[in-house]
Chain A
Amino acid sequence: MTLSKANRQRMLAYGLLLPAFIVCAVFIVYPLVMTVVNSFKPGAGMNLAKNAKIKFNATTYVKTLKDTETWKVLGRSFVYLFGSLIPSYLIGLGTALMLNKSFAGRRTFRLLMILPWAIPGVVASIMFMWMFDSTYGVINHLLMKIGLIDVYKPWFVDRQLVMFSVILPTIWKGYPFFTITLLAALQAIPIELYEAADVDGCKAWSKFIHITWPEISEASALALILNGLWSFRVFDIIYAITKGGPGTASTTIAIKIYNEAFQYFDINKASVLGVVSVVVCGIICLIFYPYMNQEGK
């Protein structure tokens, strides 16, 4: 059998992709299809054969979208998203600006500053849980010492405080990503721009506004989207310590999906919420994507 060169090339191209494609098809595409299917089957549970007998209808969508709890959970997800995103970004930007200067020991400082990136979310949240412990936590101790609080606060037990408490380890684990991406963007800025500004006698602040910011805004937008999508689906940091509680006070949409499936075994509702969360992610991308491209110009 002889094949033309073009055909041989095409076979090679697809042949090389095939193993990765199979893995993705089985473990991403098929589960995704199953989620959509299950979302239209009221009463679907863990049993595949039983689920197959249920007729398709969209009642759970209607019920879930009418339920105020769903909107509360979504609202909480956005509190969590922005509450962790903005501080992470600011810390990332600050550290990136510092690390962009040349000084002795810079490599070591860079390594240490982005270290939290490598720490498992579970370990990070357990460390924070201990630091913020309501009876023996060092943070309570320190805050009391400097007079910021007059009683020890139950950071992870109080419904009002728990969101704040799970956001903190998320910031801690999230900021190094900004440090790394922004540092890369900063290092790509031609030094001549700053030299020219120096000749013109520009102040540091105006250099930042007129040179640095336009050059890093595109990288910032991209990093913000990627990190935002990440916080939207964070599971380990919250689940390892609160499981979404107390009550539902720290239940974001990612946690809610998991609990509906593995605590209440309501696969149908979990799938509906899953589809909703994918749609929300898609909307976030659509809103910010044009903005991102525009920033590039």
Chain B
Amino acid sequence: MTNYRALKRLKKVSFYVGLVFILVVLLFPLYWAFQSSITSTRLILSKNPPLFPVSFDFSAYKEVMTRKPIFLWLKNTVFVSITSTVFGVALSLLAGYSLSRFKTMGNKMMGFFLLLSRMLPATLLVIPIYMMFSKVKMINSLWALIMMNLVNIIPFSTWMMKGYFDSIPRELEEAASIDGCTWFGGYTKVVIPLTLPGIAAVSIYSMILCWNEFLYSRTLAYNEKRWVFTVGISSFIGEHSINWSQIMAGGILFIIPLMIAFAFLEPFLVRGLAAGSVKG
């Protein structure tokens, strides 16, 4: 019997070893970015770069902050992401409810259209959109970026919200209306509070999408003061000599808030993405 137990134990240990090994391989790019950001340029640019931290040298972080307006880019990113998320979630709270509760022809068509719009290549849409915004003189405006982020958010957030509304029984609203609530009263006092977890998930998801957006931001704002972080960091590439420690430090600073948000979103993600209606 001890043999059996030992075998089981060995199996368990080798499972963990395999798991950790895979994780090390998969997360190596992140590790290497971090390792490069805390190693001095002299050490990192050698034929034998240290694979493990030799010193915790945060000077690259300081340098990148003084050399590049990364706080301005971060501020722009935060402003664009939060504003787009607020508007996007508000619109999808209305539209998602409509898709969930009413089955008119128009509702069905709208739902189908929203799904289809996720398939369109954004590089195609960005051309006429650039022309539209330059016509109304909104190039280099953060509001143009906010609108395009809205367009990115609405299709999936509406479908996600529809899923949450579907799970709330209609009887609750009917009960509220018998108690004398108007439609709006029932919606705000009964339905919305029940979908709060859904709203949280959709908001975080939207924030991550906005945080990562590159195509519209790069095209619709060429003034450095209106750059968001993704555009800013890509401008490092193509400089005469790329300072890798600094660029990695900038990248790490940028993705830390993202990872925190992701940790909150992750439990919802399995459910939300499995619905098949969203794709980052």
Contact = CB atoms under 8 A, between A and B. Distances in A.
17 contacts: A14-B98, A14-B106, A17-B107, A20-B92, A20-B158, A31-B129, A35-B124, A110-B266, A120-B212, A122-B233, A131-B32, A172-B29, A183-B270, A230-B279, A258-B123, A267-B127, A281-B121
Contacts of A131: 28-29, 32
A180 B106 CA distance: 32
A130 B36 contact: yes
A19 B123 contact: no
A126 B98 CA distance: 42
Nearest to B33: A127
B135 interface: yes
B201 to A, nearest CB: 13
Interface in B184-215: 208, 211-212, 214-215
B27 interface: yes
Given A95-B22, A113-B26, A236-B215, A254 B280 contact: no
A13 B211 contact: no
Nearest to A33: B128
B95 interface: yes
Main DSSP-derived SS at the A contact region: helix
A270 B214 contact: no
B120 A32 contact: yes
B127 A24 contact: no
A122 B234 contact: yes
Interface in B211-226: 211-212, 214-215, 218-219
Interface in A262-291: 262, 267, 270-271, 274, 277-278, 281, 285
A89 B270 CA distance: 16
Interface of B: 12, 15-16, 18-19, 22-23, 26-30, 32-33, 36, 44-49, 51, 91-92, 94-95, 97-99, 101-102, 104, 106-107, 110, 113-114, 117, 119-132, 134-135, 147-148, 150-151, 154-155, 158, 183, 208, 211-212, 214-215, 218-219, 230, 233-234, 236-237, 244, 247-248, 251, 254-255, 258-259, 261-263, 266, 269-271, 273-274, 276, 279-280
Given A257-B124, A278-B120, A103 B15 contact: yes
B127 A180 contact: no
Interface in A175-195: 175, 177, 180-181, 183-185, 187
Given A183-B270, A230-B279, A126 B237 contact: yes
A202 interface: no
A9 B47 CA distance: 71
A222 B127 contact: no
Contact of A120 (B33, B255, B270, B273): B255
Nearest to A267: B127
B211 A128 contact: no
B98 A128 contact: no
Contacts, number: 272
Nearest to B18: A98
Contacts of B92: 20
A20 B211 contact: no
A13 B23 contact: no
A14 B103 CA distance: 11
Nearest to B265: A118
Contact of B33 (A38, A103, A130): A130
A134 to B, nearest CB: 12
A115 B123 CA distance: 26
A274 B154 CA distance: 22
Contacts of A42: none
Contact of A122 (B16, B183, B214): B214
B188 to A, nearest CB: 13
Contact of B212 (A12, A16, A115, A121): A121
A240 B148 CA distance: 19
B121 A278 contact: yes
A257 B49 contact: no
A101 B15 contact: yes
A257 B214 contact: no
